[in-house]
Amino acid sequence: MVRRTGRRPGNPDTRESILSAARGAFAEKGFDGASIRAIATSAGVDPALVHHYFGSKDKLFLASMNSPIDPVDIIVEATAGERDEIGARFVRAFLQMWDGPRGSAAVALLRSVVGTEWTAKLFREFILTQILRRAVPRLDLDPAEAHLRVTLAGSHLVGLALARYVIKVEPLASAPPETLVAAIGPTLQRYLTEELPGVFPQV
Amino acid sequence: MVRRTGRRPGNPDTRESILSAARGAFAEKGFDGASIRAIATSAGVDPALVHHYFGSKDKLFLASMNSPIDPVDIIVEATAGERDEIGARFVRAFLQMWDGPRGSAAVALLRSVVGTEWTAKLFREFILTQILRRAVPRLDLDPAEAHLRVTLAGSHLVGLALARYVIKVEPLASAPPETLVAAIGPTLQRYLTEELPGVFPQV
């Protein structure tokens, strides 16, 4: 058997038992409360092995959720151009992920999230620690406004994913990506960077 | 035992077996393909009894999905004022439904929709027949644009419901309704009634 390079070393059973222990710990104690040490103990392995397999706690969390993306990647892509194109770039990067090879994993994740209270809690931790805490600072927003701005944008994108890829509502399901960029891009632009009277106190 | 008036007459077992037969028929054959007659036969009752219990096929469908609302009601409310307030009125009516006594049924519906391919299919039929076919004509939109406009708005609202009521992401989950009306109202206004360059061909 040919071994693939780097990414998934070691015994697949060990890897799976670490992921299973991580899922339980993150759901029960939250991201901050779950320690690599306790996860390792629960999986019956040495903590060094957890670091060796997954690198950081963030990466272990993303792997335990089967997340097809690291949200930081999408934000890096969205912020790589002009600031007044951030909305369009966001929608485009998001659709590319769902339309690409990682799309089916994303559908599975979204289905599982909504299915039970348990996974909803995990997803809440995902949004808080991976999106709001790690990714959002890169958007360079007013900290007092950043979380509401980003969750407004995020709620729209999650609804789009649900309608287009899970429920498959037409004509949304078959609309060309650039049509959706033209429709939804300005919305995200407004949520992220424009004045929102009635939402935040006016200066 | 005191009988409630009108709404749920007859034997609860009969009612439940009609609903169960309806769910199966709507999922398998779609709204148009499922006949009251076939549903009655499958439930072992007379078709007249189905009409007696549920009124129309639309109402039977809403009941079989445990839909907490009739989408026509929300559209009637949203269109009851000025046309340039339709976005704000939509968001307000939507939040009132989710924040009200019917909210928990709505959460249950949304969870079940995403859970399996089977219920996703039922929900697709719900959107097509109950929202696009029955409710949308009341919005008085260009028929060539109506379905994309409404599904854009709808995808945002479903995402909001998922984030606020199912996943409970802060600060969205605790935001006052009027904050969300101020944030999201203009988006729906644009999707429903304004020009959308790059989405529809310009006249």
Is the confidence at residue B119, as pLDDT, over 80?
no
So what's the pLDDT on residue B138?
84
Complex confidence, ipTM: 0.82
**A86 and A171 co-located in one domain:** yes
Judge if B97 and B161 occupy the same domain: yes
Nearest-neighbour CA in chain B from A95: distance (Å):
14
The verdict on B174 and B93 lying in the same domain is yes
Single out the residue of B153, B120, B115, B199 nearest to residue A159, CA to CA. B153
Whether B56 maps to a domain, the answer reads: yes
Q: Which of A155, A174, A178 to mutate to test the interface with B (most CBs of B within 10 A)?
A: A155
The one-letter code for the residue type at A1 is: M
| pLDDT for B4 beyond 50 | no
Report yes or no on B41 lying in a domain.
yes
Q: Check whether residue A102 and residue A180 sit in a common domain.
A: yes
Quote the CA–CA distance of A86 and B57 in Å, as a whole number. Answer: 46
Residue where a domain stops, chosen among B36, B64, B92 = B64
Residues 6+ apart with CB under 8 A from A90: A74, A78, A153, A157, A185, A188, A192
**CB atoms inside a 10 Å sphere around CB A30:** 15
Report pLDDT digits (tens) over A134-145.
888 888 889 999
| Mean of all residue pLDDT scores within chain A | 86
CATH number at residue B122: 1.10.357.10
Q: Is there a contact between B171 and A148 if contact means CB atoms under 8 Å apart?
A: yes
Rounded CA-CA distance B142/A184 in Å is 20
Helices (H) then strands (E): counts for chain B: 10, 0
Domain contains B203: no
CATH number of A25's domain: 1.10.10.60
* Rounded distance between C-alpha atoms, residue A9 and residue A18, angstroms: 13
Tokens of B88: 């704000």
Neighbours of B178 (CB within 10 A): 15
Provide the residue range defining the domain that includes A44: 12-64
Residue A135 CA to residue A141 CA, distance in Å, equals 12
Same domain, B27 and B95: no
State chain B's mean pLDDT as an integer: 86
Residue A50 domain-assigned (yes or no): yes
| Domain contains A113 | yes
Shortest CA gap A158–chain B (Å): 5
Mutate to test the interface with B, among A119, A124, A156 (most CBs of B within 10 A): A156
Closest approach of chain A CAs to the CA of B192, in angstroms? 11
Hey, are the CB atoms on B199 and A190 less than 8 Å from each other?
no
Domain count, chain B: 2
- Nearest chain A alpha carbon to B191: A183
Q: Kindly state whether residues A36 and A110 are assigned to the same domain.
A: no
User: Do B101 and B129 sit in the same domain of this protein?
Assistant: yes
Please indicate, yes or no, if residue B59 is contained in any of the structural domains.
Answer: yes
- The count of residues in chain A is 203
Residues B180, B86 share a domain = yes
Q: Supply the pLDDT for residue B35.
A: 93
Q: What is the pLDDT along chain A (203 residues), one digit of tens a residue?
A: 444 444 455 677 889 999 999 988 988 888 888 999 999 999 999 999 999 999 999 889 888 888 888 888 888 888 888 888 999 998 999 998 888 888 888 888 887 777 677 777 888 888 888 888 888 888 888 999 999 999 999 999 999 998 999 888 999 999 999 999 999 999 999 999 999 999 997 65
Is B198 part of any domain?
no
Query: What is the pLDDT, as a whole number, of residue A4?
Result: 46
- Name A140's Cβ contacts closer than 8 Å, sequence gap at least 6: A79
Contact list, B113 vs chain A (CB under 8 Å): 114, 167
Q: For B146, how many CA atoms within 13 A lie in the half-sphere containing its CB?
A: 15
pLDDT band at B22 (very low <50, low <70, confident <90, very high): very high
Confidence check: pLDDT of B1 > 50: no
Residues β-bridged to residue B200: B197
DSSP letter for A197, please: B
Q: Is B159 helix (H, G, I), strand (E, B) or coil?
A: helix
**Predicted pLDDT of residue A100:** 87
Report yes or no on B16 lying in a domain: yes
Does one domain contain both B184 and B135? Answer: yes
| DSSP β-bridge partners for residue A200 | A197
pLDDT in tens, B151-171: 999 999 999 998 999 888 999
